[in-house]
Amino acid sequence: MAAKKKKRDSPGEKRTLQHPMKDTQASLLQHTLTIVKEQRLYFLKAALLSLVIYSFLFGLWKIPFVDFGFTRMSAVTFGDYLFLLAIALFIALFFTLAKYEMQQHLHHDAQKMGKSSSALLGIFAATCPACQGITIAALGSTIFAIPLGFLIPYLGFIKVASLALLGLAVFFKADSLYTKTCPTIIPRRKTTAQKKQRATEPFLFKNNMLFTLTVILTLLIVFNQFLIPRAFASMMLGGGSGSIGKFEYGSKLTLKPMPLATGEQPAIAGYRSKVKSLPTISELSTQPSTGDAVQDLLNNVVPSGTPWYGSEAGVSFDDPITAQKLWAKGEGIQLNAQGEERWNRIVNSFTCDYCCGSPQRPTIITQCGCAHAAAARGMAKWFIQNYGDTYEDELIYGEMARWYAVWYPQGTIRRIIEESVA
């Protein structure tokens, strides 16, 4: 029997490479899900490990017995949990695809550096929104602290950027695996006319990776305008004071939400507390306006340094965690009947706005179990016992509010700006 001649492929004809995967028409998404299914145990382990590591870096838990860990300077929100979950899934997916790549002995030298760089940048950037300062505590005291308050205005941008970088890394990794293992098409030779047309195209459109990064950067800039609240702030004449919208702050004036008085209307519908100016005991050095509302509030509402009573109480605005623990010890102070009456009046009208409570349902600190509420209660007793004859209730209340600004800088600034433009 005569051997059949092999039919040669014409230059423009498609040719399918054989591969063990039966579904040669699978989409990129289906192909990626198939890999994850095959490596599901590894994926679950990577996701769980990522959750444990990032929840630790986010200050959600500390190592038992030695109490070692990172301390958050802002309350954990539902959005933070969603961000944490998304980051863990992206990282697990990236490493699962990388493991599959090594098992299949696939090499992608051309894009290896770009994908790895975007993944590393995303992984690193994902830790930035954890807190407004890196404070490492152990054995009940602060052992290392780096203030990062200047990052507060950019936390939303950093979150989106980190997710975008990780997402880009995952996409490139999945796409390269898909094109390496699924049916491919032998490309046709480009004609002279096609080469000339390609040569006249802008460089941005010839480089797919650069074009993709440009699109993502543009989207991030747009998102940034929505995620970072901006408002105009101007310093008022008269020295030592400033304003944002209808609120005034100054060297001895701070801002904090207070429960609504009987018949008082909220600035924002549904809220049961309202931002108000409060006189304080400590005095800050005010800084001139920068034209940026967030920065001005950081400079003049979030305190720094040591107040005049700091040496006596053993506290400093620059070490808020240690101060928090020391103030909490004040709860053990025994007041006389008059002092106890004053203390009850102060603490039963002071709200925990960023941890156990919310603007819609503010929690009074006598009903809040968080460490900041305990510190505020102890602080009120300390001032009543030591300076009760010198300072009125309103000033003690204001000083407690000043400390809440250093414990919750992000929540404080966000709430003030939110009401200033309402």
Same domain, 252 and 332: yes
Q: Taking the model in full, what pTM does it have?
A: 0.49
Same domain, 214 and 289: no
Residue 182's domain comprises 28-186+199-227
Report mean pLDDT in 10-residue bins for the chain, 422 residues.
48 42 59 89 92 80 68 64 87 88 64 47 47 42 44 64 79 79 44 51 49 57 45 35 77 90 88 91 87 86 93 94 94 94 93 80 87 93 95 94 92 88 77
Same domain, 217 and 88: yes
Same domain, 261 and 211: no
Same domain, 213 and 298: no
Same domain, 249 and 161: no
Is 123 within a domain?
yes
What's the rounded Cα separation, in Å, for the pair 291 and 271? 28
Burial 275-305 (b: 16+ CB within 10 A, else e): bebbbbbbebebeebeeebbbbbbbbbbbee
pLDDT, tens digit, 9 for 90 and up, residues 159-171: 777 778 778 878 8
Is 90 within a domain?
yes
Same domain, 174 and 255: no
Residue 218, pLDDT score: 57
Is 254 within a domain?
yes
Same domain, 353 and 398: yes
Residues 6+ apart with CB under 8 A from 230: 292, 293, 294, 417
Is 144 within a domain?
yes
User: What are 24's two structure tokens?
Assistant: 């040669």
Number of compact structural domains in the chain? 2
Same domain, 41 and 155: yes
Residue 388, pLDDT score: 92
Same domain, 278 and 373: yes
Residue 331, pLDDT score: 94
**What region does 184 belong to: left with phi over 0, alpha with psi -120 to 50, or beta?**
beta
**What region does 263 belong to: left with phi over 0, alpha with psi -120 to 50, or beta?**
left
In degrees rounded to 5, what are phi and psi of residue 276? -140, 155
Pairing of strands 363-364, 253-259: unpaired
Same domain, 94 and 204: yes
Same domain, 84 and 173: yes
